[in-house]
A = this chain, B = another copy of it.
Amino acid sequence: MNKIDTDFLATLVAHIVAVARAHGDKAPSERELAEHFAVSRGQVRESLSILESMQIIERRAKSGIYLNPETAGLDSMALFARAGVPLMPRQIFEAVELRKIHEIKAAELAAMRATGDNHARLRDILDQSAAQLAKGEGLHKLDGAFHLEIVRATQNEMFYKLCQSFYAAAEQRHAIYFGKPERNAKSHAEHLQIFDALIARDAILAQALMNSHLGGAQSYWTELLEEQKAANPLIRSGA
């Protein structure tokens, strides 16, 4: 466990959340954490600095460390996911809505601006997806790659970076979503359609296809949450 790797950060967050359950609660002191994880206080402080910069915690001088999950920014989502903090339905719906906002527009722009490289990478991802699908394996990683590549094809680097951090936090969701095998095939088929529209540089069509692709995801989530409410430990009810 060298350096401040993400795993340690996630473990730390998990422990802090386990101790201080509610917003504003006090977390263990630096010295306690150091002892608990058998590392030096310096290591703990470095990690806490990062968590504080993400606004996951607040460090009040001479007082203590306070959990701050509600004010935490976007970059913290990936960490919470790794730490095994349960997803809340509200977060899922918000994320899907955000994806629609981003990616419908991304599809439109990508149809107009995609380079040959973008097309090649998309084709490659789809080939891999087909192979995985044939082997009966889930393709939630490749799904993320496909959508992200479309954003990259907008040639807006900032847009790409934004969606990158967004997708980093989405793996937990994706894993749940692609848990049902039939989703994989359906998703892949829709990706192929979108790809064709991008190749044809048909912005209107690409946009429409992405809209229905994500719209499908939206309604599928609704079903999923209905039937798995309280059954799936990764999804916690409540707002």
Contact = CB atoms under 8 A, between A and B. Distances in A.
User: Could you say which interface size class chain A belongs to?
Assistant: 35 or more
A97 interface: yes
Contacts of A47: 49
A165 interface: yes
Given A61-B3, A73-B75, A73-B165, A159 B105 contact: no
Given A73-B75, A101-B105, A164-B73, A158 B94 contact: yes
A89 to B, nearest CB: 13
A90 B156 CA distance: 9
Contact of A101 (B91, B101, B166): B101
A74 B42 contact: no
Contacts of A91: 158
A85 interface: no
A162 interface: yes
Interface string A75-105: 1000000000000001100110110011001
Nearest to A93: B156
A4 interface: yes
Given A42-B45, A73-B164, A74-B158, 14 more contacts: A3-B61, A4-B52, A4-B53, A47-B49, A50-B50, A53-B54, A73-B161, A75-B165, A91-B158, A94-B157, A95-B158, A97-B156, A101-B102, A101-B159
List the 6 closest pairs (A to B, CB-CB), nearest first: A94-B158, A46-B49, A50-B53, A101-B105, A94-B156, A74-B162
12 contacts: A42-B42, A46-B46, A47-B49, A50-B53, A73-B161, A94-B156, A95-B158, A97-B159, A98-B162, A101-B101, A101-B105, A162-B166
